[in-house]
Amino acid sequence: MKIISISNNKGGVGKTTTTVNVAAALHIMGKKVLVIDMDHQAQATYHFGINPNKVVDSIYNVLKGEKNYQDIIIKRKGIDLFPANPEMKNVEFLPIPAKEFLLKEALEGLTGYDYVLIDCPPSLGVLTLNALAISEFILVPLQAQFLPFHGMYNLFEAVQMVKKRINRNVEVAGIIGTMYNPKKSINREVMEETEKRLPGKLFSTFIRENVALQEAPSWGKTIFEYKPESNGAEDYMALTGEIIARFDLMSPA
Ligand X SMILES: Nc1ncnc2c1ncn2[C@@H]1O[C@H](COP(=O)(O)OP(=O)(O)O)[C@@H](O)[C@H]1O
Binding site for Mg ion (CB under 5 A): 15-16, 43
Q: How far is the CB of 73 from ligand X (least distance, A)?
A: 22
Q: Which is closer to ligand X, CB of 204 or CB of 214?
A: 214
Torsion over CA of 2, 37, 122 and 6, rounded to 10 degrees?
20
Q: How far is the CB of 189 from Mg ion (least distance, A)?
A: 25
Q: Which is closer to ligand X, CB of 44 or CB of 106?
A: 44
Q: How far is the CB of 219 from ligand X (least distance, A)?
A: 12
- Comparing C-alpha atoms, which of 29, 34, 39, 28 is closest to residue 3? 34
Whether the CB-CB separation of 172 and 140 falls below 8 Å is answered with yes
- Surface-to-core class of residue 93, CB atoms within 10 Å of its CB (0-12 exposed, 13-18 middle, 19+ buried): exposed
Helices marked H in the chain — which ranges? 15-28, 43-47, 59-63, 102-106, 126-134, 149-165, 185-197, 211-215, 223-226, 231-250
3-state secondary structure of 185: helix
The item of ligand X, Mg ion, none sharing an interface with residue 179, based on CB under 5 to 8 Å by kind, is: ligand X
DSSP 215-244: HGGGGT--HHHH-TTSHHHHHHHHHHHHHH
Q: How far is the CB of 39 from ligand X (least distance, A)?
A: 7
Q: Which is closer to ligand X, CB of 106 or CB of 223?
A: 223
Q: Which is closer to Mg ion, CB of 46 or CB of 115?
A: 46
Q: How far is the CB of 7 from ligand X (least distance, A)?
A: 9
Q: How far is the CB of 65 from ligand X (least distance, A)?
A: 27
Q: Which is closer to ligand X, CB of 45 or CB of 210?
A: 210
- The binding site for ligand X (CB under 6 A) comprises 11-17, 43, 122, 178-179, 207, 209-210, 213-214, 217
* Bridge partners, 117 (sequence order): 4, 35
Instruction: Tell me the CB-side half-sphere exposure of residue 44, using CA atoms within 13 A.
Output: 34
Q: How far is the CB of 216 from ligand X (least distance, A)?
A: 7
Q: If phi over 0 gives left and psi between -120 and 50 gives alpha, with beta otherwise, what is residue 189? A: alpha
Q: Which is closer to ligand X, CB of 16 or CB of 128?
A: 16
Q: Which is closer to Mg ion, CB of 219 or CB of 250?
A: 219
The item of ligand X, Mg ion, none sharing an interface with residue 177, based on CB under 5 to 8 Å by kind, is: none
Distance between CA atoms of 134 and 170, rounded to whole angstroms?
A: 8
